[in-house]
Amino acid sequence: MDHTEQQKALIQWWKMSSRDLPWRQTRDPWLIMVSELMLQQTQVNRVIPKYQHFIKKYPTPKKCSEAPASSIIEAWEGLGYNRRAINLHRTSRVIVETHYGKVPNTLNDLLELPGIGPYTARAILCFAFEEDIGVVDVNIHRIISRVTGKALSPLEMQIKADNFVPAGEGWIWNQALMDLGSDVCGSRSPDCGRCPIMSHCLWKGEGPDPAKRKTSFSNLNQSFEGSDRQGRGKLVNTLRNRRVFLSELEKVMGWNGDPERCRRVAAGLIKDGLVEYDDKAGYGLPS
């Protein structure tokens, strides 16, 4: 496979087809971190207004660290997966206390921050510090699986992703791959005829899809109804507006007749730092 031709074709396509996203207008590592945490399992169109509002209010780790955790959770409304808000708040405090208010620029230091995993750490290194490093999100994972024509282990996938990055162009290369996966090389209906690197693809839309996973997103969505995660979300959403007494827990969480489950799930929220409980005042967001 001629990587050079593949790289040129994709970058040229991206320059003509790129999406205008607000976090692509900055190299500020804090703003990139905020966008990456918001984008985890949340659609881009939902993230854009939340991101723009958040960075106006909390443009630096210091501003975020000085705010009460409850304010960060409130600003996260509508994005789901509220644990990400708490992790971002905790991370801002670590950055201020340990890194003089600046987001670290090494993989090891980033991985030590609360809620920052291998993908997010690499995304920050690439999109903020412009390192030539492979960033493997769900879109890039799908493209590389199809281009190579086989399912790869996480380590093999990361090595392939790193090797595909053209020298000095890690930022544009990973952005291009993400847009290709979003716009052309989709999960369900890939438009191979529009793909700028189809000639380099070993799958080409024929035969079993090497990118298919055992668990589909539709199954994940179906399992959300009635799940613990749904109950967690209902409680946190209510707490954004008011406190909740213990006697109201079943109604708020949607599990009438199952007080044990309500208390267990609420206890998990307390353990995660998303909720506080007081015998007199009931449940509330952390101060």
| Count of all residues that appear for the chain in the document | 287
Cα 10 to Cα 165: distance, rounded to the nearest angstrom: 11
DSSP string, 166-213: PTT-HHHHHHHHHHHHHHTS-SSS--GGG-TTGGG-S-TT-SS-TT--
Write b or e for each residue in 20-40: b if 16 or more Cβ atoms lie within 10 A of its Cβ, otherwise e: ebebeeeeebbbbbbbbbbbb
Q: Is 36 a catalytic residue?
A: yes
CA 17 to centroid of chain Cα atoms: 23
284 secondary structure, DSSP code: E
Q: From the candidates 36, 77, 112, 131, which is the catalytic residue?
A: 36
User: Active-site residues: which are they?
Assistant: 36
